[in-house]
C-alpha cells in the first residue's frame, strides 16, 4: 500500500492507495500530525510499503513529519520537490522554487487530466488560481485569502463581529442579503470567493480563446462550483499531480 499525504497550512489530507495505484483504500482529513498518526494506527489492515508527500509547511515541520513516518511506519517518505519542468509542463514563476508545491502539483494533475489549456482553482486556507496553456506553459496565477482567513480577519479586527460555528454553517443555506451578523459575514465571504472565481473565468476566456478546462479543488470547492457549470471538481487533484511528480517505481 502507498500512503500519500498533502500537508496544507491547516489540514493534512491523507489517503492510502494500492501499489498499482488502481484502488483508493482509505482516506481522511486531520488537523495535526498527532491526529494523522492516531488515524493511521486505527486503520484496519494497514500495511504501508511506500509513502510520498507534498508539504507547503516549513522545512523543519516537514522533516519532523518524515522522521515520525520513518519511526512509526518504517517508510522513507518521498517529498515532492520544486522543478522548472515536469513532462510537457513548464513552471511559469520567475523563480520556480517559489511556486507553492500544492499549486505546482495541482497544475501537473490538471494538465494530465485535461490535456489542454487549464484554469486551476484551489480553495483552502488560501485560494489560488493558476493558468496553464495548451502547450503546458504555466502562465502564473493569483493568491488570495480563503474563507477561513477572511472570517478570522473580520472577527479579529472588529469588536462586534462574533457568532458561533454552528450558526455560521446554517447561514450558508442560501446567499440572500444577511439579516444577522453570521449570515452577513458568511455570505459576504462566500460571495468574495465566487466573485474571484468568476473573474478568473473571464481571464481564462480572454487568454484561451480556443477553449480550456476548469478544475476546482480544495475544501471549499463546493461553495463555488455552480459559478463554473462545466468545471471538473477534483478533490484529489493534488494527489494526481503527486503521483506524476513522485513516481515510486
Ligand atoms: N472534511 C473537511 N475537512 C476539513 N475542512 C473541510 C472539509 N470540508 C470542507 N472543508 C473546508 O475546507 C477549507 C480548508 O480547505 P483545505 O483542506 O483544502 O485547505 P488547507 O489544508 O487548510 O489549506 P491549504 O490551502 O494550505 O491546503 C476550510 O474552509 C474548511 O471549512
Ligand atoms: C499559497 C499557498 C499557501 C496555498 O496553499 C501555497 O501554495 C504556498 O505557500 N505558496 C508559496 C507562495 C507562492 O506560491 O507564490
Ligand atoms: K491545498
Q: How confident is the model at residue 171 (pLDDT cuts 50, 70, 90)?
A: very high
Sheet bearing 126-132, strands edge to edge: 138-145, 126-132, 118-123, 213-217, 232-233
Q: Give pLDDT, residue 112.
A: 98
Q: Does 163 have pLDDT greater than 80?
A: yes
Task: State the first-to-last Cα distance of the chain, in angstroms, to the nearest integer.
Answer: 13
Residue 138 in grid coordinates? 504555466
Q: Give pLDDT, residue 33.
A: 97
Q: Work out which ligand 1 atom sits closest to the CA atom of 29.
A: 3
Q: Compute the distance between CA of residue 111 and CA of residue 113 in angstroms, rounded to an integer.
A: 5
Element (H, E) at 217: strand 213-217
Contacts of 206 (CB under 8 A, 6+ apart): none
7 annotated ligand binder: yes
Ligand closest to 11 (CA) is 1
156 annotated ligand binder: no
What is the 3-class SS of 48-70, one letter each residue? CCEEEEEECCCHHHHHHHHHHHH
Contacts of 53 (CB under 8 A, 6+ apart): 4, 5, 6, 7, 62, 65, 66, 77, 78, 79, 80, 242
214: left (phi over 0), alpha (psi -120 to 50) or beta: beta
pLDDT tens digits for range 214-248: 999 999 999 999 999 999 999 999 999 999 999 99
Q: Give pLDDT, residue 249.
A: 75
Q: Compute the distance between CA of residue 4 and CA of residue 18 in angstroms, rounded to an integer.
A: 11
Share of the chain above pLDDT 90, in %: 99
Q: Work out which ligand 1 atom sits closest to the CA atom of 12.
A: 21
pLDDT tens digits for range 37-80: 999 999 999 999 999 999 999 999 999 999 999 999 999 999 99
Q: Give pLDDT, residue 240.
A: 98
Evaluate: CB of 91 within 6 angstroms of ligand 2: no
Instruction: Give the mean model confidence (pLDDT) for residues 94-103.
Output: 98
Instruction: Give the mean model confidence (pLDDT) for residues 76-101.
Output: 98
pLDDT tens digits for range 27-36: 999 999 999 9
Residue 84 in grid coordinates? 522548472
131 annotated ligand binder: no
Q: Give pLDDT, residue 248.
A: 92
Evaluate: CB of 19 within 6 angstroms of ligand 2: no
The residues assigned a catalytic role are: 102
Cell numbers 461553495 correspond to 223
Cell numbers 523563480 correspond to 95
Q: Give pLDDT, residue 92.
A: 98
31 annotated ligand binder: no
Instruction: Tell me the C-alpha to C-alpha distance, in Å, between residue 142 and each of 84, 104, 119, 160.
Output: 19, 13, 11, 31
Ligand closest to 220 (CA) is 1
pTM above 0.80, yes or no: yes
Q: Give pLDDT, residue 209.
A: 98
Contacts of 124 (CB under 8 A, 6+ apart): 8, 9, 10, 11, 102, 146, 218, 219, 220
Q: Give pLDDT, residue 221.
A: 98
Q: How confident is the model at residue 125 (pLDDT cuts 50, 70, 90)?
A: very high
Ligand closest to 27 (CA) is 1
Q: Compute the distance between CA of residue 40 and CA of residue 27 in angstroms, rounded to an integer.
A: 10
- The residue whose CA has the least distance to atom 10 of ligand 2 is 100
Q: What is the chain's mean pLDDT, rounded?
A: 97
* Distance from residue 31's CA to the centre of ligand 3 (Å): 13
- The residue whose CA has the least distance to atom 10 of ligand 1 is 219
Amino acid at each position: 500500500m502507498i500512503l500519500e499525504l498533502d500537508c496544507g497550512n491547516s489540514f493534512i489530507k491523507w489517503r492510502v492507495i494500492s501499489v498499482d495505484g488502481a484502488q483508493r483504500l482509505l482516506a481522511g482529513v486531520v488537523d495535526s500530525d498527532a491526529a494523522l498518526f492516531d488515524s493511521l494506527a486505527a486503520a484496519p489492515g494497514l500495511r504501508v510499503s511506500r509513502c510520498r508527500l507534498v508539504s507547503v509547511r516549513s522545512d523543519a515541520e516537514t522533516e519532523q513529519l518524515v522522521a515520525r513516518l520513518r519511526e512509526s511506519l518504517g517508510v522513507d517518505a518521498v517529498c515532492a520537490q520544486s522543478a522548472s519542468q515536469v513532462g510537457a509542463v513548464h513552471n511559469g514563476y520567475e523563480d520556480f522554487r517559489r511556486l507553492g508545491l500544492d499549486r505546482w502539483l495541482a497544475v501537473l494533475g490538471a494538465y494530465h487530466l485535461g490535456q489542454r489549456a487549464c484554469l486551476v482553482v484551489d480553495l483552502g486556507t488560501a485560494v489560488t488560481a493558476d493558468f496553464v496553456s495548451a502547450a503546458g506553459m504555466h502562465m502564473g496565477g493569483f493568491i488570495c485569502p480563503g474563507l477561513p482567513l477572511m472570517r478570522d480577519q473580520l472577527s479579529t479586527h472588529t469588536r462586534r463581529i462574533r457568532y458561533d460555528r454552528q450558526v455560521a454553517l446554517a447561514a450558508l443555506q442560501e446567499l440572500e442579503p444577511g439579516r444577522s451578523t453570521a449570515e452577513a459575514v458568511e455570505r459576504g465571504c462566500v460571495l468574495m470567493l465566487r466573485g474571484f472565481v468568476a473573474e478568473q473565468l473571464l481571464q481564462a476566456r480572454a487568454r484561451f480563446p480556443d477553449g480550456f478546462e476548469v478544475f476546482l479543488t480544495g475544501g471549499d470547492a463546493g461553495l463555488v462550483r455552480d459559478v463554473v457549470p462545466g468545471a471538473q471538481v477534483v478533490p484529489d487533484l493534488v494527489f494526481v499531480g503527486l503521483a506524476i511528480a513522485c513516481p515510486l517505481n
